C-alpha cells in the first residue's frame, strides 16, 4: 500500500479539486472514497465526523467515488459542482445533507436541498454538466482503481489503505499508531 500511495501522492493528497476539511495542516491525513448512496458510507459518517472533530489535528479529504448507479453519480456531480460554485462551507453542508439523506437522490431532492441551503441551484446545475466535474469524478475512479479500492467506503490513513467500514475506535487506534510510529 505505502508504495502505491507514495507513487500517487499528488493525486491523492493535492489534486486541487477534492474537499479538504478538518485541520488542513493536520499531522495525519484521512482520505475517504465514498458514494452518497452507500449504506456503509452513511454508517461511517458519524464516526468520521467525530474522529475529525474530536481529534482536531486531522486533515480530511473527500473523494466522490460514485459506483452505485445514476443517483450516485447525480449526488457526486451535485456535491462537486456546489464546491466549485459556492465554496467549501456550502460543499460541506451539501455533503452532510447527502450523507444523512435516506431516500432517492432525484432532481426534486436536489432542488429542495439548494433551496434549504440557500444555494444558487441554476449555477450548480450548470456546473454539474461541466468538464471539470466530469474530470474530477473520472480522476477519482482512476485513482481508486490504481489503489485497488473497489468498493465504498475506502479510506487512506497514513500509508495504509483500508477497504470497507471502520468503527470510530478502529480509526482512533490507527491514528494513534501512525503518530506513535513517527518517533
Query: What pLDDT, in 10s, does the model give residues 2-36?
Result: 899 999 999 999 999 999 999 999 999 999 999 99
The predicted-structure confidence for 77-105, as pLDDT tens digits, reads as follows 999 999 999 999 999 999 999 999 999 99
The predicted-structure confidence for 51-81, as pLDDT tens digits, reads as follows 999 999 999 999 999 999 999 999 999 999 9
Sign of the dihedral through C-alpha 151, 104, 99, 129:
positive
Q: Whole-angstrom Cα distance, residue 55 to residue 167?
A: 15
In 28-138 the beta strands, taken as DSSP E runs, fall at 28-34, 58-64
User: For the whole prediction, is pTM greater than 0.85?
Assistant: yes
Q: Whole-angstrom Cα distance, residue 51 to residue 162?
A: 16
Residue 183: predicted pLDDT: 62
The predicted-structure confidence for 152-167, as pLDDT tens digits, reads as follows 999 999 899 999 999 9
Q: Which domains does the chain have, with CATH numbers?
A: 2-16+25-180 (3.40.30.10)
Amino acid at each position: 500500500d505505502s508504495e502505491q500511495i507514495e507513487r500517487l501522492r499528488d493525486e491523492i493528497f493535492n489534486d486541487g479539486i477534492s474537499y479538504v476539511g478538518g485541520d488542513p495542516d493536520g499531522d495525519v491525513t484521512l482520505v475517504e472514497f465514498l458514494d452518497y448512496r452507500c449504506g456503509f458510507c452513511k454508517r461511517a459518517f458519524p464516526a468520521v465526523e467525530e474522529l475529525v472533530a474530536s481529534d482536531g489535528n486531522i486533515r480530511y479529504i473527500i473523494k466522490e467515488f460514485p459506483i452505485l448507479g445514476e443517483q450516485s453519480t447525480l449526488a457526486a456531480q451535485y456535491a462537486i459542482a456546489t464546491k466549485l460554485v459556492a465554496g467549501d462551507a456550502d460543499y460541506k453542508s451539501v455533503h452532510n445533507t447527502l450523507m444523512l439523506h435516506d431516500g432517492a437522490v432525484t432532481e426534486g431532492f436536489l432542488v429542495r436541498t439548494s433551496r434549504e441551503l440557500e444555494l444558487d441551484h441554476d449555477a450548480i446545475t450548470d456546473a454539474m454538466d461541466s468538464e471539470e466535474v466530469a474530470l474530477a469524478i473520472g480522476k477519482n475512479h482512476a485513482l481508486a482503481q490504481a489503489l485497488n479500492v473497489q468498493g465504498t467506503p475506502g479510506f487512506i490513513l497514513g500509508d495504509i489503505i483500508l477497504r470497507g467500514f471502520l468503527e470510530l475506535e478502529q480509526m482512533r487506534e490507527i491514528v494513534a499508531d501512525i503518530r506513535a510510529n513517527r518517533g
